[in-house]
Amino acid sequence: MIKTTDLCDEKPQQARVLAPLFMDLGGRADFQGPAVTVKCFEDNSRIKELSGQAGEGRVLVIDGGGSERCALFGDHIAEDLVCNGWAGVLVYGYVRDKAVLRGLPMAIKALGVTPAKSVKRNEGQVGLDVTFAGQTIASGDLLYGDDDGVVVLDAPRA
């Protein structure tokens, strides 16, 4: 795994650092891989759909608008993400089932924890650019996360 501090040292012009808002809630703190973005507000329908797909080492980036009113996923979706090969999850929002999440072999970074579940209205969009924690993340951008924070590099250009 490439350390976020090393990326910042080696690529100071390209490494975009997210504001330090996120708690480590999974059994690991580190992830790296291309981003898959989801924009949803208090509805985890798209997250549930993606959790059943092959992750292929990608990082699920969820823009939940920072809402504290409900968790965007918990133990069931997290277990699906692990089983399907996702490298990690970054949530601009809240999750639940913290005790189970910290036992999973995956990095899960979120704003915090709440017991309330989200609604299912079949809303949300996949693949949009999302902006939070001072940075914009596009699907395909490379995300690196560890104990020191989260760094984004623009997607490689062909």
**Dihedral angle sign, alpha carbons of residues 10, 144, 92, 115:** negative
Q: Range of 78's domain?
A: 4-8+21-147
- pTM of this structure: 0.96
Question: In this structure, what CATH number is given to the domain that contains residue 92?
Answer: 3.50.30.40
Burial class (CB within 10 angstroms; exposed 0-12, middle 13-18, buried 19+) of 116:
exposed
Please indicate, yes or no, if residue 156 is contained in any of the structural domains: no
CA angle 134, 22, 126 (to 5 degrees): 65
Q: What is the pLDDT of residue 1?
A: 87
Per the domain annotation, does 125 fall within a domain?
yes
Structure-token match 């949530």, residue found: 91
Report whether 70 contacts 116 (CB < 8 A).
yes
97 occurs within a structural domain: yes
- The total number of structural domains that make up the chain: 1
Sign of CA dihedral 45, 87, 132, 67: positive
In a domain, 14, yes or no: no
Cα 46 to chain centroid distance, Å, stands at 14
pLDDT at residue 158, rounded to an integer: 47
Ordered mean pLDDT values, 10 residues apiece, the chain (158 residues): 96 96 97 98 97 97 98 98 98 98 98 96 96 98 98 84
The three-class DSSP label of residue 63 is strand
What are the helix (H) ranges across 11-154? 45-51, 75-83, 98-101
